[in-house]
Copies of this chain bind each other. A is one copy, B any other.
Amino acid sequence: MPDTPSVTDEQVAPAVDDLDTIVSLSKRRGFIYPSSEIYGGINAVWDYGPLGVELKNNVKRAWWRAMVQERDDIVGLDAGILMAPQVWVTSGHVAEFSDPLVECATCHRRYRLDELPGAEDVSPADAADAAIIERLGLTCPNDGGPLSAPRRFNLMLKTFLGPVEDEAAIVYLRPETAQGIYVNFRNVQQSSRKKVPFGIAQIGKAFRNEISPGNFVFRMREFEQMEMQFFVRPDGATAAFEDWLPRRRAWYETLGVAPARLRTREHQPGELAHYAKKAVDVEYRFPFGWKELEGVHNRGDFDLGNHARASGENLEYFDPSTEEHYIPWIVETSAGADRAAFTFLIDAYREEEVRGEKRVVLGLHPDLAPYKVAVLPLLKKRSEIVEICRRLRADLARDVMAVYDDTAAIGKLYRRQDEIGTPWCVTVDVDSLDDGAATIRDRDSMTQERVPIEGVKRAILDRMAAARG
């Protein structure tokens, strides 16, 4: 079912050629800023501005709605970022969660082995080979200096809890949210009375000390995951996998991502993570190539089995109808909230020509748009018009994010809203004072419809419901 990629980078154009277009729009309009910018920034951390936080919250809400609210077989969880350190020993992260790091002897720059030209396809065995640098004839891309042999560099960030900074006080910042679900499996199953098959979904921050973060918010050291672990009978894992993979791909399409810019790619045996029996990525055509957007993994009984052995606790599930006891197998769907928001932002971007003028539009799905509606006075000198607009915005804002703007002429106000993806603009004009009606203008079609002012909110809510299908 998952097609090994038949489409290459060259065959599908990205929605935006130049990432800088998005980076610059993001800063100018308040989606995403460089973190701590007044102090020169901090590498690989980004801050969400007023529009960005709404977009990202909408992404998280849409995921929660699809994965928890609408399902009667999935419940939510919100575990801590800090967990008992033993969790990461059992999970394999202390031993395995590392990248091969090499350093230049002259300029001291550091690289992940597989990002050096000529080493893109090294296997894990190669990366453990002290002679690999010599064998492949690798030198520093910066100054041509000699490179060290690769050493394993663990990606977990650590801190110290309590007053003494020693080994015993080490606690890790979780590098993934999934483990919080596994160690809570029994508590959740017992308190929610869910029967297998059922899932546990979680959204939360994770941290990785990436050697080479980059591509804007694509790979950050601090990021937010949206993970769901689906617990099944061992013989039900394959069917669950085949159900979840197309479902997760479809989620992006339902929220507006162009199907042509999505593909699935199955991990080859040598590429599989230590916990995975099978893994397929949903990939997106970013401006910098096809990259992972979300992973669907059959993890077998690796997680609950290991945690049961290491903790000495019984993590078997008792099936009351068949009277069987077993360790459930797990099918995981693992997405990133930042990466999803970034994808929706890029994919929605388009430039058009309207009556000889360029307009930039973010064609965001109404569920994702930061503001659902802008209320704009056609004549801000007339205080009655401004008054109507302000009252209308306040009424709309009880239900949806709504914004008022009167700081430019109407054409410019429309362009501003187009550029941030506001699906509908409501204008109040001189006629409104007579007929009590306002004009709803559609972002994409630019058509206008006259609606009684007291019916504007209903019209917006109906259009939102229609867009949701």
Contact = CB atoms under 8 A, between A and B. Distances in A.
B397 A80 contact: no
A188 B82 contact: no
A81 B39 contact: no
Interface in A127-162: 153, 157-162
Nearest to A43: B161
Interface in A44-67: 45-54, 56-57, 64
A40 interface: yes
A407 interface: yes
A201 to B, nearest CB: 9
B163 A80 contact: no
Interface in A183-202: 183-184, 186-188, 191-193, 200, 202
Contacts of A397: 69-70, 72
B183 A39 contact: yes
Most chain B CB within 10 A, of A70, A157, A184, is at A184
Given A192-B30, A221-B82, A48 B77 contact: yes
Given A41-B84, A84-B40, A183-B38, A50 B163 contact: no
A220 B311 CA distance: 24
Contacts of A428: none
Most chain B CB within 10 A, of A80, A173, A188, is at A80
Most chain B CB within 10 A, of A52, A76, A83, A200, is at A76
Interface residues on A, range: 35 or more
A42 interface: yes
B49 A184 contact: yes
Interface stretch (A262-270, A380-388, A398-406): A398-406
Contacts of A160: 157-158, 209
Contacts of A404: 72
Contact of A45 (B41, B83, B188, B221): B83
A160 B79 CA distance: 23
Contacts of A28: 191
A307 interface: yes
A37 interface: yes
A114 interface: no
A15 interface: no
A49 B200 CA distance: 10
A211 interface: yes
Interface of A: 27-30, 33, 35-43, 45-54, 56-57, 64, 69-70, 72, 75-84, 86-87, 101, 110, 153, 157-163, 171, 173, 180, 183-184, 186-188, 191-193, 200, 202, 205, 207, 209, 211, 221-222, 307, 310-311, 313, 315, 390, 393-394, 397-398, 400-401, 403-404, 407
